Amino acid sequence: MAVPVETVYSASLRRQATVEAPSSVTIVTAREIEAQGWRTLADLLRGVRSFFVTDDRNYEHVGVRGFNPLGDFNSRVLLLVDGHRINNSVYDSAPIGLEFPLDVDLIERVEIIRGPGSSLYGSNAFFGVIHVMTRRGANVGGLETSAEGGSFGSWRGRATWGGEVGPGIDLLVSGTAFDAQGDDLFYPEYAADPTGGRTHGTDFERGYSLFARAGFKSWRLESAWASREKGIPTGSYGTVYDDPDNRTVDAQGYVDLSGEQPLSAQWTVGGRVHYDHFYYRGTYIYDDSASGGPSYLEGDDRSDGAAVGAALTASTTALAGHRVTAGVEYRHDLRTDQSYEDDVASYLDDGRDRTVLGVFAQDEVRLAERWSLNAGLRYDRYSTFGGTLNPRAGLIWNPDEASAFKLLYGQAFRAPNAYELYYGDGGGTQKPNPDLDPETIRTWELVHERRFGGAWRAAASLFHYEIDDLILLTVDPADGLLVFRNTSEVVADGVEIEGEHVRPGGLRLLGSYSWQQVEDRTTRDEPPNSPEHLVKLAAEAPLFADWLLAGVELQWMDERGTLAGDETGDFALVNVTLRTRELAHGMRFSVTVRNLFDAGYSDPGSAEHRQDRIEQDGRTFLVRLSCRF
């Protein structure tokens, strides 16, 4: 059968066919990113089956299979770049907006592994793993530049150089800068304020990112640094509305040395050492004159994290019918400092460290010609709460080389982070809780995947998951203060269906439907921000003698509940990108229009907002020119 089968690395820490992987997998390539005009990782995830994104106009929050608690910092997905953990050491958050420390133009492919992944990766691989893999310098082959501008005074520029600088030595360096004035907004919740509910110049966003990678044979030295400053237009946390001094700054970077080395035909070893740094500063402006204080009170909220780590893995096929992979990982959070002060007093000055030790083993067993079993187990020991053991098992039947039936079970955990454990503002609103237990999830899934006809691919999943000891910000009835607690249990059932058709001439059609029903076992209600239905459609096609290409996507999301018990209403977005093939001197030109029909829609607001629903952008455009020298 001459049917092309995609391969994936992240599901088992080795390259294997997707039909053999013990997970439901989605792979997004650089070509698809360019075809749809995606400019952030959040844009990409919006187009992926069963994923959805909530935007509070400061950060973007990813949801998976109907679950995305309001106020979450993306701590229930694990984000990797070339195998390096990006979730930071203070909030365990995965950045998916412009604070992500990599320009999307540097992405070669993204592997999305659904389901619990703690048996390989430890904490945060709760609903899945998002693994971003970068381009090699040889694929750039010289100097590459791009410039773009669009709605709300936005612009971005990038310069990248890549190539081979010696025998087996591959080098890539890149820098990006961006700026946007942002939209002028109206929120009726502030209509009684002197502003009349309108805010100007507070939705700005600016920053930069730097990336360098040097590869020698199977080893790689990689470093990244990014900083983003974002204005807060919503008046969150009771701050003065329409004050441009309300803002957050997020900066993150790492240095990582990794590689693997075959020792023989049957043995391979790999290793990694790394250093990470994370910095956050929030500036919040308050009017305390009603309590006899100053009318301009500047709150300074900071966190500073640094971590070092090392990992060692080994894989062998020495035992007939088995492929065994085992490893050990050590991480030391050197500091997870948090502080809060204003012009009057200091309310929080907390400094901690944390150590994590994880050991794992996985065995891929060939049971028969068409049957295989993938079983793994990992033990993690945290200095903050103790140990946790997480298994995974997948029974896979391959009727032929292009199809699979998979019966999967997995368990994962999310360790409470430093913010949830120790943050207390001292001003009588939020207090720490060092006694939190980790969250756990158990997932059962039945997956069918098939490629046929040389141009068609189909996939379907049935899943059920249960979450215990869910960590949420709640009000302590004893004193009325906010505190993180292990509060409730959540159960969900769902169905995912996807189909894809690709023609050699460049035509590609992709469609998916997801249904998920999520229930909080404590309240017997559907949690807020939980859509029951998601529909994604995408098309790519050449136009006008193939020199112009079009990419179109439609995203429909069902209504979602809000914290006040209301609903956001369903909405449909259509995005269009037109781009040229490479013209003279390596030039390419593209235009992207998002929300083509100017649909009005909102995302639910979290507890820090006065708004129950936060309105999103209408029609926007982006014009882009890139050159290769």
pLDDT tens, position by position, 234-290: 999 999 999 999 999 999 999 999 999 999 999 999 999 999 999 999 999 999 998
pLDDT tens, position by position, 323-353: 999 999 999 999 999 999 999 999 999 999 9
pLDDT tens, position by position, 248-264: 999 999 999 999 999 99
Q: Return the H-helix or E-strand segment holding 157.
A: strand 154-166
The model's pTM: 0.96
| CB of 268 closer than 8 Å to CB of 260 | yes
Instruction: Indicate whether 428 pLDDT > 80.
Output: no
Per-residue exposure over 113-148, b if at least 16 CB sit within 10 Å of its own CB, e if not: bbbbbbbbbbbbbbbbbbbbbbbbbeebeeebebeb
Instruction: Indicate whether 2 pLDDT > 50.
Output: no
The amino acid occupying position 63 is G
Check residues 197 and 425 and name the one with the higher pLDDT. Answer: 197
Q: Which two tokens stand for residue 529?
A: 């921000």
Q: The domain 7-628 is classified under which CATH number: 3.20.20.80, 2.60.40.1180, 3.40.50.880, 2.40.170.20? A: 2.40.170.20
Instruction: Indicate whether 72 pLDDT > 80.
Output: yes
Instruction: Indicate whether 380 pLDDT > 60.
Output: yes
| CB of 130 closer than 8 Å to CB of 121 | no
> What pLDDT score does 178 carry?
98
Q: Which two tokens stand for residue 313?
A: 């893995």
Instruction: Indicate whether 404 pLDDT > 80.
Output: yes
Neighbours of 305 (CB within 10 A): 24
Instruction: Indicate whether 1 pLDDT > 50.
Output: no
Beta strands 107-114 and 602-604: pairing type?
A: unpaired
> What pLDDT score does 586 carry?
86
| CB of 404 closer than 8 Å to CB of 395 | no
Percent of the chain with pLDDT over 70: 99
Token pair 């939980």 is found at 530
> What pLDDT score does 426 carry?
67
Q: How confident is the model at residue 355 (pLDDT cuts 50, 70, 90)?
A: very high
| CB of 360 closer than 8 Å to CB of 327 | yes
| CB of 151 closer than 8 Å to CB of 598 | no
Q: How confident is the model at residue 546 (pLDDT cuts 50, 70, 90)?
A: confident
Neighbours of 465 (CB within 10 A): 26
Tell me the CA distances in angstroms from 558 to 332, 407, 521, 524, 555, one per residue in order.
Answer: 42, 29, 22, 20, 10
User: How much is the mean pLDDT over the chain?
Assistant: 95
Instruction: Indicate whether 7 pLDDT > 70.
Output: yes
* Distance (Å, whole) CA 71 – CA 66: 15
Average pLDDT over residues 358-364: 98
Tell me the CA distances in angstroms from 504 to 456, 537, 618, one per residue in order.
Answer: 12, 20, 35
Check residues 292 and 364 and name the one with the higher pLDDT. Answer: 364
| CB of 437 closer than 8 Å to CB of 486 | yes
Where along the chain do its domains lie? Answer: 7-628
pLDDT tens, position by position, 115-157: 999 999 999 999 999 999 999 999 999 999 999 999 999 999 9
| CB of 232 closer than 8 Å to CB of 247 | yes
